[in-house]
DNA sequence: AAGTGGTCTAGACCACCCT
DNA sequence: GGGTGGTCTAGACCACTTT
């Protein structure tokens, strides 16, 4: 186990791999201290900065933890913790090998309903852009999306832009603020008749309910709505611990 | 905007904050190049290594992206992407200000049912530890957990250890292998009569279904089961983009 | 006092990109 | 060829922990 300085793999990465193998094979067990940075530096013929880079990579991956003045220790794997990632719909479907498409069901200006006005911090009845879309995977409906968006600019709504563009881009086009962050809440729900019809399933079927609020950089909400994902075709898979913070 | 070297806040962090403010206030907009590392180094009186540390922090947070030979650019925020974290039950409830507890409903050795045997890669009928638990928040059932665990050591099952210990520790106690990683899948489902009774809700209510497989370091599965979370009391909130990879 | 990790510097060489 | 980010070094000082 030593560093090959002629390799294309940089030394900091080689050392990280060596230590990772040693941890996973039980040379160092949870709670054990790793050799000090000075020792690793001497043993592998690397500068301390380089050793530290290896260690910080392992720390980001959750394998080790450093304690000031004390040392570096192997972490206990966090098995009761799960991280789920919901990617943008097209990417998500593409990674499952499905071809995705979007069907626009409705897009018009409406007076904001009470709840939408509240969420968008607008006076009730303000004109907002209301959009209903079907998100399809291999031609079959996978999700049903309904959103209320601020509509400051008075630009005409072009049907084709709604079919293909992601929501953040639609907000940019039709509202003055450009969205900077979003808050999402994931719940479960039973589909009512309208929702079930849109998703081609029976009323009362279970589904994921993803509530989304788009927020501008000045903190103002610029979009709000929900997206329903069919419970029989959609699931979330946990991200492996080691990949949670970069590999 | 300059670096205060007498501050307790280290220079690399001060520079990261300066650049973050400039990005969020629109000085640099998505797609724009940041000044080169050499320029930042000169402007703020820091070595290039320190400047790079600031930049790599912003890159981990997703605010910027570096391109070899070209420069560093402001990223477009990924608003259609969400990250959800399900922490260990006690921690999760504690962070919501609820006091959690666990009630053991059943714990006995049973011949592994076909599906459990398959998931645990054991011959059908092998004796496994079957556990049913209620996870309570402020005394009300929040989740209903059923697990099959390998049982290699023949140790007696102590009731009190099942009430309070997390599953990984139970596996360690009763199986030969110590679990090293877990895979989880999150789905939605409708509760049957037994499940509804355990959760104090009506049959047919929607719920989160979290399937969990515990895997030993040698790759062998050591535990499998599901945990049902009440749909009316449980929800997942997205992690802010900037905190997804360290703050 | 000795050992540890945390931070910083002023150089260096490299591969990559553009002109 | 000149600019860019990616990597590495051999020192240095600091705060913290343990002896």
Listed as ranges, the nucleotides of chain C within 7 A of a protein C-beta are: 3-12, 15-18
Q: Name the closest residue on chain B to residue A240, using Cα atoms.
A: B183
Residue nearest to nucleotide D3 (CA to C1'): B69
Packing angle of the helix pair A11-24, A37-44 (nearest 10 deg): 110
Q: Which residues, in sequence order, are bridge partners of residue B144?
A: B134, B228
Least confident of A2-6, A102-106, A161-165, B57-61: A161-165
**Confidence (pLDDT) at B154:** 65
Pairwise CA distance, residues B85 & A155, whole Å = 39
**Protein side of the strand C interface (CB < 7 A):** A 34, 36-39, 48-49, 52, 66-72; B 10-13, 45-50, 53, 67-70
The H or E element that residue B52 is part of is helix B48-60
CA angle B64, B70, B73 (to 5 degrees): 20
- How many Å from the CA of B84 to C1' of C11? 44
Q: Are the Cβ atoms of B84 and A210 closer than 8 angstroms?
A: no
DSSP letter for each residue of A149-188: E---S-PPPPHHHHHHS-HHHHHHHHSSSPEEEEEEEEEE
Interface test with A, best of B90, B184, B214, B232 (most A CBs within 10 A): B184
Tokens at residue A16, please? 């990280």
Residue B20 Ramachandran class (φ > 0 left, ψ -120 to 50 alpha, else beta): alpha
The H or E element that residue A49 is part of is helix A48-60
Residues of chain A neighbouring B89 (CB-CB closer than 8 A): 80
What are the pLDDT digits (tens) for A145-197?
999 999 887 666 666 666 666 777 777 776 666 778 899 999 999 999 999 99
User: What's the mean per-residue pLDDT of chain B?
Assistant: 90
Q: Which of B79, B85, B185 is the closest to A83 by Cβ?
A: B85
Mean of the pLDDT values across residues A38-65? 96
Its sign, for the CA torsion B159, B160, B161, B163, is: positive
Mean of the pLDDT values across residues B192-198? 97
Render the burial of B172-183: b for 16+ CB within 10 Å, e for the rest. Answer: ebbbebbbbbbe
The H or E element that residue A101 is part of is strand A100-111
Q: Name the closest residue on chain A to residue B21, using Cα atoms.
A: A217
Residue A224 Ramachandran class (φ > 0 left, ψ -120 to 50 alpha, else beta): beta
Q: Are the Cβ atoms of A179 and B79 closer than 8 angstroms?
A: yes
**A19, burial (CB in 10 Å: exposed 0-12, middle 13-18, buried 19+):** buried
Model confidence at B247: pLDDT above 50: no
Nearest to A184 by CA among A88, A115, A78, A81: A88
Least confident of A29-43, A172-186, B64-78, B230-244: A172-186
**B239, burial (CB in 10 Å: exposed 0-12, middle 13-18, buried 19+):** middle
Residues of chain B neighbouring A236 (CB-CB closer than 8 A): 84, 185-187
- How many Å from the CA of A31 to C1' of D17? 18
CB atoms < 10 A from the CB of B132, how many?
Answer: 17
Of all residues in chain B, the percent with pLDDT exceeding 70 is 89
Q: Which of B25, B80, B166 is the closest to A80 by Cβ?
A: B166
Model confidence at A133: pLDDT above 90: yes
User: What's the mean per-residue pLDDT of chain A?
Assistant: 90
Mean of the pLDDT values across residues A75-100? 92
Domains of chain A, start order:
11-74 (1.10.10.10), 87-245 (3.40.1410.10)
Residues of chain A neighbouring B182 (CB-CB closer than 8 A): 79-80, 82, 238
User: Between the CA of residue B147 and those of B62, B140, B195, B213, what are the distances in Å?
Assistant: 38, 21, 14, 9
Packing angle of the helix pair B11-24, B37-44 (nearest 10 deg): 110
Q: Name the closest residue on chain A to residue B242, using Cα atoms.
A: A181
Render the burial of A113-127: b for 16+ CB within 10 Å, e for the rest. Answer: eeebbebbebeeeee
Least confident of A86-95, A169-178, A197-206, B77-86: A169-178
- Contact indicator for A59, A14 with CB cutoff of 8 Å: no
> If pLDDT is split at 50, 70 and 90, which confidence band does A75 have?
very high
- Contact indicator for B83, A83 with CB cutoff of 8 Å: yes
Packing angle of the helix pair B48-60, B11-24 (nearest 10 deg): 50
| Residue pointed to by tokens 């953040």 | A168
Model confidence at B246: pLDDT above 50: no
Q: Are the Cβ atoms of A235 and B187 closer than 8 angstroms?
A: yes
What DSSP character marks residue B178?
A: P
Model confidence at B244: pLDDT above 60: no
Beta strand ranges found along B52-205 (DSSP E): 64-67, 71-74, 82-86, 100-111, 127-137, 140-149, 179-190
Q: What is the pTM of this model?
A: 0.89
| Residue pointed to by tokens 């940075």 | A37
What are the pLDDT digits (tens) for B110-135?
999 999 999 999 999 899 999 999 99
Residues of chain B neighbouring A183 (CB-CB closer than 8 A): 237-238, 240
Shortest Cα distance, chain A CAs vs residue B2, angstroms: 24
Cα A15 vs. chain centroid, distance in angstroms?
A: 30
**A175, burial (CB in 10 Å: exposed 0-12, middle 13-18, buried 19+):** buried
- Contact indicator for A176, A198 with CB cutoff of 8 Å: no
Of all residues in chain B, the percent with pLDDT exceeding 90 is 74
Pairwise CA distance, residues B202 & A187, whole Å = 18
């Amino acid at each position: 186990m030593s560093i090959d300085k002629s390799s294309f793999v940089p030394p900091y990465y080689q050392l990280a791999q060596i230590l990772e193998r040693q941890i996973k094979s039980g040379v160092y067990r949870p709670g054990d201290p790793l050799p000090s940075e000075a020792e690793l530096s001497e043993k592998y013929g690397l500068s301390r900065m380089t050793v530290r880079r290896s260690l910080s990579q392992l720390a980001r991956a959750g394998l080790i933890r450093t304690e000031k003045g004390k040392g570096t220790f192997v972490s206990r794997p966090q098995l009761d913790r799960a991280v789920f990632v919901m990617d943008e719909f097209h990417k998500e479907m593409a990674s499952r090998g499905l071809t995705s498409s979007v069907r626009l069901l409705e897009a018009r200006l409406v007076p904001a309903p009470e709840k939408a006005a509240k969420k968008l911090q607008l006076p009730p009845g303000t004109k907002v852009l209301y959009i209903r879309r079907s998100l399809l995977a291999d031609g079959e409906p996978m999700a049903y999306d309904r959103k209320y968006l601020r509509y400051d600019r008075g630009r005409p709504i072009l049907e084709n832009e709604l079919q293909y563009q992601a929501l953040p881009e639609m907000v940019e086009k039709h509202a003055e603020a450009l969205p900077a962050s979003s808050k999402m809440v994931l719940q479960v729900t039973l589909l009512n008749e309208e929702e079930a019809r849109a998703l081609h399933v029976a009323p009362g079927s279970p589904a994921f309910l993803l509530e989304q609020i788009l927020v501008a950089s000045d903190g103002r909400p610029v979009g709000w709505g929900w997206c329903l994902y069919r419970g029989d075709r959609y699931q979330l898979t946990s991200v492996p611990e080691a990949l949670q913070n970069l590999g």
